[in-house]
Chains A and B, each alone.
Chain A
């Protein structure tokens, strides 16, 4: 057993190996559609209007809260639309996007304000701000805003560079490392400068021999080591990676920063280098195009927002009915049609020939899924509870710890799409929690309103009582006075009549 062994997971063969891994830079697209909704967090708000002329690298959408990243124009040209477009998501729902029509010039915005090329002399705060304003998110597919992650990892002791690319078929990280090994190393050095970690480990699967060789050749920094891990699916999942490299288990519900580790995808590090040293915000990424309908898998450096059809036009695709799948064969999303755009987390497009879908059979409780789960869950139990929408029990069985890797679905003899059930259960849980919060809030406000009205009524009643009493007292006082005056007047009148009768006699 190698020292990087982890339980569960699957040894999978790359179904579409490429003869050689190279990175092809394709020409500028004619139009780009940039989504405002990043994967996590609130939507960014466009800060330009239809008809504006924008430059490459110009900020076109800003963010209020710190949990998302701003959006930059990936080409120069005119903003032709700010409207809803279909997103590459299983729901097929739309979200707000900015469409820019290229002017062919690719004129760059001057982002050298707050220059950080000599980052060694800049404070970590300055570099952190540069990362934050450059729109960098995790390039491994999760899309978590990098600046947020770096902020939480202040004071961490180890930086792990995730170059494993464990999902079979995807080779974009491999292509990136072979094309820009020095950028990778220098990106790591920038990040080490900010977070203050003692060391950095580049974790890479042992089937990427050329990349390992190149990185070893160009790495002269003693703080950076390169570890080759056995090729096994889910070796690149953050929790698993931290466990197999450092032997630390991230607590359930926690993050790597809780145990003093910062984990970043190698593509993110190249983006950090580009932003900090070359003043270029995140406006392009590497996309692998592969699949059963692709004659030769290729990797393209694409501007963000280019349409899938544009990118696929540069690949050699077989004729016929083909399916598009975004991201990998294990964790990917099957899409209807191909009218989507490359976003910050589109690492791969699978183009597969249409195959007959095998309908799922009943679960025979064989337990194969239990044996391959890398996070030691019981997928079978989660399946039964998710299927009957029993979210409480599913949470009891640690539904939220599921990394949705798809190992369980892959080995199921009945071909049940298990991960779909867990995604459903998680979405239902989100919905139910939100609803419960809303109803609790509504109940509280209603009860307070009742209390307030009661209180007002009571106060008014008391006030009326007090006024009445005061009036009565006043009236009583008045009455007493009047009686005194009347008595005095009577006395005077009596005295007068007595005097008159005296005078008369």
Chain B
């Protein structure tokens, strides 16, 4: 019996040393899980998830404070991708946080704009070009469609315009291909 005990103890000690060494030698700085979650999130920075941006939300998911289904711009596909990453069951998108809308871009009505710069300050990705008392407009390629500029505009001159599909961006539906 003494043999068995000593053998197992030596084994445990040896494995413990190996694991300890590995933990120190291969330690990863920072939290890669947060980066991985952030890579899946759509970076709209809209705050519909109740966090001030996508990275804070990613950190909340990683620490367990938030559920994975709070992001409407990511859609159900985003929730599924997060579920797969974290190896948990997928959830339906939480409708309390908003609904998934097709991609939209903000456009300022140039006749009405008064140059108050409130929209410039509100935009989380600095997609506006303008200055005080100067007409302001959206840089279309930078706009994420987060809607945060809509409520702050005092003259309500910002419209959300849907991005139309073109021949170059069209994606056929894979499920319909076989039923030729």
Contacts and interface: CB of A to CB of B under 8 A. Distances in A.
Contacts of A358: 180
By DSSP majority rule, is chain B's interface helix, strand, loop, or mixed?
Answer: loop
Interface string B28-64: 0000000000100111110000000111000000000
B144 interface: yes
A471 to B, nearest CB: 29
Interface stretch (A12-20, A110-118, A319-327, A425-433): A425-433
B178 A417 contact: yes
Contacts of A428: 171
Contacts of A359: 178-180
A443 B179 contact: no
A431 B171 CA distance: 8
Interface stretch (A175-183, A223-231, A254-262, A444-452): A444-452
Interface stretch (B3-11, B90-98, B121-129, B130-138): B121-129
A372 interface: no
Given A95-B166, A443-B54, A446-B53, A421 B177 contact: yes
Contact of B174 (A90, A386, A431, A449): A386
B131 to A, nearest CB: 16
Contacts of A417: 177-178, 180
A243 to B, nearest CB: 30
A409 to B, nearest CB: 10
Contact of B125 (A91, A389, A421, A442): A442
Nearest to A443: B43
A481 interface: no
A446 to B, nearest CB: 5
Contact of B45 (A87, A90, A446): A446
B125 A449 contact: yes
A388 to B, nearest CB: 9
A93 B167 contact: yes
Given A359-B178, A417-B177, A424-B177, A449 B124 contact: yes
A360 B177 CA distance: 9
A450 B125 CA distance: 9
Contacts of B168: 430
A439 B42 contact: yes
Contacts of B178: 359-360, 416-417
Contacts of B125: 442, 445-446, 449
A431 B169 contact: yes
A450 B53 CA distance: 10
A438 B145 CA distance: 12
B167 A442 contact: no
Interface string B97-138: 000000000000000000000000000111100000000000
Contacts of B159: none
Given A359-B180, A360-B178, A445 B171 contact: no
Contacts of A386: 174
B172 interface: yes
Nearest to A35: B167
Interface string A383-405: 00011010000000000000000
Contact of B166 (A93, A438, A442, A447): A93
B89 to A, nearest CB: 20
B84 to A, nearest CB: 13
B165 interface: yes
Contacts of A445: 125-127, 142
B170 interface: yes
Given A446-B54, A447-B55, 15 more contacts: A91-B170, A91-B172, A387-B174, A389-B174, A417-B178, A421-B174, A427-B171, A442-B125, A442-B142, A445-B126, A445-B127, A445-B142, A446-B124, A448-B126, A449-B126
Interface of B: 38, 41-45, 53-55, 124-127, 141-142, 144, 165-172, 174, 177-180
24 contacts: A89-B167, A93-B166, A95-B166, A360-B178, A360-B180, A420-B172, A424-B174, A427-B170, A427-B171, A427-B172, A430-B169, A438-B144, A439-B43, A442-B43, A442-B44, A442-B125, A442-B142, A443-B54, A445-B127, A445-B142, A446-B125, A448-B126, A449-B125, A449-B126
Ranked 10 nearest A-B pairs via Cβ: A442-B43, A445-B125, A91-B170, A439-B43, A427-B171, A360-B178, A443-B43, A420-B177, A446-B45, A424-B172
